[in-house]
Structure 1
Amino acid sequence: MNTPITTTDRLLLRSFKKEDGIHFFQMNADPEVIKYTGDTPFKDLDSAHTFIENYDAYTTTGIGRWAVIRISDHEFLGWCGLKYHPKERVVDIGFRFYQCYWNQGYATESAKAVIQYAFNTLKYPFLVAHAHQENKASHSVIQKCGMYFLKDFDYDGIPAKGYRIDNPDYTLKQITAEETWPVRHPVLRKGRPLEDVYMEADEKPSTFHVGMYYQNIIIGVASFMEDEKESFTGKQHRLRGMAVLPEFRKKGIAELLLKKGEDILKKKGCTLLWFNARIAAVSFYKNLGYTIVGPEFDIPLVGPHFLMKKELT
């Protein structure tokens, strides 16, 4: 048996293996199991085995759906786990079980275990979930896990309800300039004097800083300062010094910091945010609605950059 991802009193969750193909074939052959999913039955058992063999989420994203095994008799009950959605940049939790194991608490028990694993081990700041509008059983499981309703929306042509749960170990708030240094220095000015993290505009009344804390330790920062570029119009602010500690990257922290800053700027009446983006971060900013202005340029001791901007509406 594969090494467990996580366990509960009754259940063990592990990665899929080829032999699980029979279970995928049988579950998806039950119209009630896939009624609200938008999925179709596998053509044959070989198709289900091929699906398992080609399932690469564990290696491409570091997470995935996991087999739910009953500890007492090693029965395969269904699956539960995580999935990264690159377009929306969110991680969702999902589950599916054989109909004969419904109404026995297995879905709720495994989902709660996955949430704890995602928060305590993987350190995700939040998770989302969705279910077909009419899938009352799934809504019940999601709500029992402490997730709160976000919105009604269309999920690949399916009318769905969206939910979210936040990791209580994270806190996002405004901070002082000096409080940014423990992140700004090692990430953006590694190997250089501490004085290099100081920016003259840090202490101006119009400047503000936001920080993300994990268990009361700062792990991500961003600074927003009033600064006008002559070629731009409107009330402008500039983003500077955004950084996240390496072990907390690819978890959505930078996006949360940026959105927090955008919300504050909108309340202040700011209409445009601009900054010099490092080459490696350009795609991240593009996904959040920022556009490149002009050619690539170099900042001494830092490297190549692009000027980017976004209208705040």
Structure 2
Amino acid sequence: MIICETDRLYLREWTPDDWLRFRPLATDPRVLRYIGDGKPWDDERIQRRITGLIELSAQRGWIIWPVIHRADSELIGFCGFGDGFLPEVEIGWRLRPEYWGQGLATEAARAVLEYGFQRWNFPRIISVAQPANAASIRVMEKLGLEFDRRFDHKGIEVVCYAKSNPFPPTAVRQDWR
């Protein structure tokens, strides 16, 4: 099932065999440079993650979804929502390096941000990155998120950007999904 679409991308539900296409996002040191401890995941951990995302999607509906590039039908990354900073919902993204620098992270995140505000009526969405992750911070700023605060997360300094829902409650579309 397609979650949302852009001119160059679409986001869909996970399938069990997506773990193989997810592998580059969980093993490439360039991708993991600013992610947690930066250590690559093994295949078992990747498979557990995909299984967990499928289950979580069935339970609550909003997760991180695979980003598919229309031009080559490749799974090039993911984008979506996480709950690591509840009560606030976090938007995050990750792309394979060969797709960096093309505006694709911004394109996917913009569609997901609107989806979160309109479909799920999130009052505010945050995004968190290490201060040295200039590319992700640029995406946040392009999305209209504004600097909110700095804090320590699991021993790592991070910056938090945020955006409030610009859609009035009466404009929320309940017919999505």
**Pair in the same fold by TM > 0.5:** yes
CA–CA separation in structure 1 for the residues paired with 2:86 and 2:105: 25
CA–CA separation in structure 1 for the residues paired with 2:62 and 2:39: 24
CA–CA separation in structure 1 for the residues paired with 2:65 and 2:133: 22
> Residue type matched to 2:67 in 1?
V
Report the counterpart of residue 132 of structure 2 in structure 1. Answer: 134
CA–CA separation in structure 2 for the residues paired with 1:81 and 1:121: 13
1:47 to 29, 41, 45: 45
CA–CA separation in structure 1 for the residues paired with 2:112 and 2:9: 11
CA–CA separation in structure 2 for the residues paired with 1:67 and 1:106: 13
Shift of 1:84: 2.3
Is the contact made by 2:19 and 2:46 (CA closer than 8 Å) also made in structure 1? Answer: yes
Larger radius of gyration, structure 1 or 2?
1
Unaligned residue ranges in structure 1 (runs of 5+)? 171-213, 217-246, 248-313
Is the contact made by 2:89 and 2:125 (CA closer than 8 Å) also made in structure 1? Answer: yes
Is the contact made by 1:25 and 1:41 (CA closer than 8 Å) also made in structure 2? Answer: no
1:247-258 alignment runs, 5 A limit: none
Report the counterpart of residue 254 of structure 1 in structure 2. Answer: none
Asked if 1:143 corresponds to 2:125, the answer is no
Report the counterpart of residue 69 of structure 1 in structure 2. Answer: 68
Shift of 1:10: 0.7
| Aligned Cα root-mean-square deviation (Å) | 1.9
Q: Percent identity?
A: 34
Q: Which secondary structure does the structure 2 equivalent of 1:32 belong to?
A: helix
Asked if 1:31 corresponds to 2:29, the answer is yes
CA–CA separation in structure 1 for the residues paired with 2:40 and 2:23: 7
Is the contact made by 2:106 and 2:139 (CA closer than 8 Å) also made in structure 1? Answer: yes
CA–CA separation in structure 1 for the residues paired with 2:22 and 2:155: 23
1:288-299 alignment runs, 5 A limit: none
Unaligned residue ranges in structure 2 (runs of 5+)? none
Q: Deviations over 1:136-181 (max 9, x none)?
A: 00000011000000001112222110011111224xxxxxxxxxxx
Q: Which secondary structure does the structure 2 equivalent of 1:150 belong to?
A: strand
CA–CA separation in structure 2 for the residues paired with 1:114 and 1:107: 10
Q: Deviations over 1:48-96 (max 9, x none)?
A: 22321233321333210000001222111100001124x6311110000
CA–CA separation in structure 2 for the residues paired with 1:77 and 1:24: 8
**Segment drifting more, 115-124 vs 20-29:** 20-29
Higher relative contact order (CA 8 A, sep 6+): 2
Q: Which secondary structure does the structure 2 equivalent of 1:18 belong to?
A: coil
Count of residues in Structure 1 that have an aligned counterpart in Structure 2 = 171
Is the contact made by 2:68 and 2:74 (CA closer than 8 Å) also made in structure 1? Answer: yes
Report the counterpart of residue 57 of structure 2 in structure 1. Answer: 58
> Residue type matched to 1:73 in 2?
D
> Residue type matched to 2:87 in 1?
R
CA–CA separation in structure 2 for the residues paired with 1:160 and 1:118: 23
TM-score of the aligned structures, taking structure 1 as reference length: 0.51
CA–CA separation in structure 1 for the residues paired with 2:80 and 2:50: 15
Is the contact made by 1:61 and 1:84 (CA closer than 8 Å) also made in structure 2? Answer: no
